[in-house]
Copies of this chain bind each other. A is one copy, B any other.
Amino acid sequence: MLSTKDKIKYVAFKLFLEKGYEATNIREICNEVGIKPSSLYFYFKSKEELFFSIYDEVWGDKIRFIENVEELKKNISPDVKLYSVFKNTVEYCSKDICRQKFLLRYHLFPPEELIKVLRDKFKYWVDRENLIIANLVRDCIEKKILGSRISVADFLKDYNKFTTFQIIEMIISNIKLSSTEINNLWLKFWSSNYS
């Protein structure tokens, strides 16, 4: 059973995703939760605070999941780790497309009143994700798995474009990828650029 606070966040997430921040109003959230608006303000001091508590949770869950991918701790080749991170990321996203759609919505079309804070937060979380990838790429270069001509920044750009598009495709077509398909995608990405 969810606490009142969690119920509010659950309902608000759904509405912020489907209707957007501006079009979602406190009264509607409260109606669905079964409380009065004044009760919501006991848990969150404003609509904006409620929104960011959800936004940070969604990003936080995703990044912590990636940081804790098991293979990262094993004593294996960095390119295998890279593949594991990609695979786990895509699988994680495909398990809960709604959350990725939420992140995409507020990345592509941030509400004016939130735009500055959103930009900062977005940068913080993406940097944290990029750190993992960048370290693995540097490892690959050090161990001569990738040529020393390869720029880490360019790799990151390609990698992010690649994953972003996989996620957008899942959102638009609403189709989950199988393990084999994910593997094939990775092979295509890796072989066409880095071997």
Most buried by B among A105, A109, A168, A171: A109
Decide if A143 is an interface residue (CB 8 Å cutoff): no
How many copies of this protein are present in the complex?
Answer: 2
A160 CB → nearest B CB, Å: 10
User: Out of B19, B104, B164, B168, which one reaches A112, CB within 8 Å?
Assistant: B19
Q: How far in angstroms is the closest Cβ of chain B from A122? A: 13
Q: Given that A161-B169, A168-B168 are known contacts, is A112 also in contact with B22, CB under 8 Å in the complex?
A: no
Instruction: Encode contact with B along A167-179: 1 for CB under 8 Å, 0 otherwise.
Output: 0110111000000
Interface bits A14-49 vs B (CB < 8 Å: 1, else 0): 000011101100000000000000000000000000
**Cα of A48 to Cα of B64 in the assembled complex, Å:** 43
Whether, in the assembled complex, A1 has its beta carbon less than 8 Å from a beta carbon of chain B, the answer is: no
Interface flag for A108 (CB, 8 Å)? yes
Q: Is A165 an interface position by the 8 A CB rule? A: yes
Within 8 A of B (CB), among A97-146: 104-105, 108-109, 111-112
**12 sample A-B contacts, Cβ–Cβ < 8 Å, listed by A number:** A19-B111, A20-B22, A20-B111, A23-B112, A104-B108, A105-B108, A105-B109, A108-B108, A108-B172, A109-B109, A161-B169, A165-B165
- Ranked nearest first, the 9 interchain pairs of A and B with the lowest CB-CB distance are A22-B23, A22-B22, A19-B112, A105-B109, A165-B165, A23-B111, A168-B168, A20-B109, A20-B20
- With A20-B20, A23-B111, A108-B172 known, 6 other A-B pairs at CB within 8 A are A20-B111, A22-B23, A105-B108, A109-B109, A161-B173, A165-B169
